[in-house]
Structure formats: structure tokens, C-alpha cells
């Protein structure tokens, strides 16, 4: 079952005003493509059209990581489209965290971790949040994009 809904703004990192959209996906190989199309549809034809390719690439990587590395039944995508920036988070039910921004080290032969390097390169900011209050807990990997993110980096 795939669902999308518009909700009231939530807590940080999405606390920027604007419009919130949510998509819940089953944990399947198709989830990354569906999330990519979802983000594309939200940003195309808006003032954020210039970051569509970066958003597509980043959300694909994060959703694919959730699919490959967790046994979560649902992958949840939350997109906040603000006036100045777009924040996307991808949540799963795995109770572990990802490396901190700036702490990713990969070598030429290493296959894992390269997707997070994309976030490091393309996003204005990114990170992960772990909620230990839930059973079994969950994590969300989030990233914020702006048209000026590459210029600032």
C-alpha cells in the first residue's frame, strides 16, 4: 500500500514553514523509484525546479539504503517545501544511526557509504535522528536542499 497525505507542519528539521507532504511505502525494491517520482511531482513547476535533480538523487539513495539495510515494513518519506528550501526525511524502523555529517570516510574500493557522500556534497545540511522511545525505535535520515547549497559549499 502506498499513501500520500498533506499534514500540518511537524517538528524540526522540517520546522521551516511551508507545505508538508508524507508518503508511506512498503519496503520493496520499487520504493526508491516511487519516492523519486513523488519528490519530482512536488518540486517540478515550483521555484524549487532547479533542485529537482539533486532532490531525486538524494531521496533515491536514502530510500534505497532503508530498503537494503533494514527489515522495516514501511519506509516513510516526509517532504517540507518551504519558501527558501526543501527538507526531505526518510524514516524506517531500524534503531541504529548513520555516520554524522562530515564523518563519512570511503575509499575507492568501498561500496557502502557512497550514497551518504552525495548528501554531503549536494545538501545544505543533512543528518539523522534516532527515536529510542518507540518499540523497536526508528531512525530518520534527513537532508535540506536550496538552490544556493552548491554555491555555499
How far apart are alpha carbons 25 and 116 in whole angstroms? 21
- Predicted pLDDT of residue 34: 98
Mean pLDDT, each 10-residue run in order, the chain (153 residues): 34 70 96 98 95 97 92 93 94 70 51 74 89 64 82 47
∠ CA 20-43-68 to the nearest 5 degrees? 75
Sorted by sequence, the CB contacts under 8 Å of residue 150 that are 6+ apart come out as 122
- Predicted pLDDT of residue 96: 65
How far apart are alpha carbons 128 and 5 in whole angstroms? 23
How far apart are alpha carbons 36 and 52 in whole angstroms? 10
Q: Taking a C-beta distance cutoff of 8 angstroms, is the pair 78, 89 a contact?
A: yes
Q: Which three cell numbers stand for residue 106?
A: 570511503
- Predicted pLDDT of residue 132: 54
- Predicted pLDDT of residue 5: 33
Answer whether 0.85 is exceeded by the pTM.
Answer: no
Sorted by sequence, the CB contacts under 8 Å of residue 10 that are 6+ apart come out as 20, 78, 80
Classify domain 3-101+114-152 by CATH architecture.
2-Layer Sandwich (3.30)
Sorted by sequence, the CB contacts under 8 Å of residue 106 that are 6+ apart come out as 112, 113, 114, 117
Q: Taking a C-beta distance cutoff of 8 angstroms, is the pair 102, 58 a contact?
A: no
Amino acid at each position: 500500500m502506498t499513501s500520500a497525505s498533506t499534514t500540518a507542519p511537524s517538528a524540526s528539521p522540517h520546522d521551516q514553514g511551508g507545505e508538508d507532504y508524507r508518503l508511506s511505502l512498503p519496503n520493496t525494491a520499487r520504493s526508491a523509484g516511487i519516492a523519486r517520482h513523488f519528490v519530482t511531482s512536488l518540486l517540478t513547476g515550483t521555484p524549487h525546479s532547479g533542485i529537482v535533480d539533486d532532490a531525486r538523487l538524494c531521496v533515491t539513495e536514502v530510500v534505497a539504503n532503508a530498503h537494503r539495510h533494514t527489515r522495516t515494513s514501511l519506509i516513510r518519506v516526509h517532504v517540507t517545501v518551504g519558501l527558501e528550501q526543501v527538507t526531505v526525511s526518510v524514516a524506517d524502523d531500524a534503531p541504529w544511526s548513520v555516520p554524522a555529517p562530515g564523518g563519512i570516510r570511503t575509499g575507492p574500493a568501498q561500496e557502502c557509504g557512497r550514497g551518504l557522500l552525495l548528501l554531503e556534497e549536494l545538501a545544505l545540511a543533512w543528518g539523522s535522528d534516532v527515536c529510542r522511545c518507540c518499540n523497536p525505535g526508528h531512525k530518520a535520515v534527513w537532508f535540506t536542499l536550496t538552490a544556493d547549497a552548491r554555491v555555499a559549499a
